[in-house]
Amino acid sequence: MIPNKILMCKPEYFDISYAGNDFMKNNINKFNKVDALNQWLELKKIYEKLKFEVHLIEPVDGLPDMVFTANQSFPFKNTEGKNCVLLSKMKNHQRVDEVKYFEKFYKELGYIIYYTPEDIDYFESMGDCIVDYERDIIFGGYGYRTDEKIYDYLKEISGKKIVKIKLQNSMLYHLDTCFSIINRDTIVIDESAFDDDTLKLFKTLYTKIIYAEKEENEKNFVCNNHSPDGKNVIVQRGSEKFKSDAIILGLNIIETDTSEFIKSGGSVFCMKLMFY
């Protein structure tokens, strides 16, 4: 079941103050706060226009990455259909404290809450877990921000099929920077992030593959697009190659500007969380 609610966090305290990934490195203190806020408001409007309920979590002073709501939690339905969540353990210390605010959010919603076990060093939820809701498969990226071992635990608590994917390109540090699922047939990938076996597997599962151009992906985060309904695809403005490939497949492209957030290593997919 595809979640129908969107969770976002206003970038009130958004900042690029440390080098948490290759994109941040070159952009310390180089972003425009007003532009960032307007870009975020625009994205929120897009989801509202598509008739998704947008919920907000309060931003917290001193947590500059909280706007990337894909990373702190992994919501799922268990085998009895109950709402559950596995909370992250963030790799960069600057983000660790974000998780407790998400814990509170889920507690108020009555979710069953699971924690990343002590012996697992890090897990960044929907940055690395991409779900094919129709097939009920979780693709679990690991290597940079997520410890492979979390997937045994996630399998145990969720009862779901998990396909583990070792990421190969350190610049593309989360699975959502190099892979996205648009619908049952269609995915977007940046080939530089995967080994041959993974690429073969993608080809056996999906009949339509959009190959993101390496430069366009690094500049515009096209793999970090988001399709909340399998038809509309929200993506960074100016991604010409991606746009023409997607239009040929009959998809509706919604362009928006997330450039201030790309400087921090995230775009549309990371700026929201889908939950139940």
217 binds ligand ARG (CB under 6 A): no
Write each residue from 12 to 41 as x if it is in contact with ligand ARG (CB under 6 A), else as -, in one continuous string. --------xx--x-----------------
Stretch that binds ligand ARG, among 75-83, 173-181, 183-191, 201-209 (CB under 6 A): 173-181
The residue within the footprint of ligand ARG, chosen from 71, 180, 220, 225 (CB under 6 A), is 71
d(CA 142, CA 34): 34
75 binds ligand ARG (CB under 6 A): no
Is the Cβ of residue 172 or residue 246 nearer to ligand ARG in the bound state?
172
The residue within the footprint of ligand ARG, chosen from 172, 180, 265, 273 (CB under 6 A), is 265
Per-residue DSSP letters for 145-184? SS-TTHHHHHHHHH--EEEEEE---TTS-SGGGTEEE-SS
Q: Residue 102 contacts by C-beta under 8 Å, 6 or more apart in sequence?
A: 57, 72, 73, 85, 87, 88
266 binds ligand ARG (CB under 6 A): yes
127 binds ligand ARG (CB under 6 A): yes
65 binds ligand ARG (CB under 6 A): yes
- SS3 letters for 38-77? HHHHHHHHHHHHCCCEEEECCCCCCCCCCCCCCCCEEEEE
d(CA 226, CA 242): 13
The residue within the footprint of ligand ARG, chosen from 44, 89, 174, 226 (CB under 6 A), is 174
Measured between its terminal Cα atoms, the distance across the chain in Å is: 9
Q: What share of the chain is helix, strand, coil (3-state, %, to 5)?
A: 35, 25, 40
The residue within the footprint of ligand ARG, chosen from 14, 151, 264, 274 (CB under 6 A), is 264
- Least separation in angstroms between residue 172's CB and ligand ARG is 9
Stretch that binds ligand ARG, among 34-42, 97-105, 169-177, 204-212 (CB under 6 A): 169-177
d(CA 255, CA 267): 12
Q: Residue 74 contacts by C-beta under 8 Å, 6 or more apart in sequence?
A: 85, 86, 87, 88, 125, 126, 129, 154
Stretch that binds ligand ARG, among 66-74, 80-88, 164-172, 243-251 (CB under 6 A): 66-74
Q: Using CB under 6 A, which residues numbered 84 to 103 contact ligand ARG?
A: 95
Residues interacting with ligand ARG, by CB under 6 A?
20-21, 24, 65, 68, 70-71, 95, 127, 174, 176-177, 264-266, 270
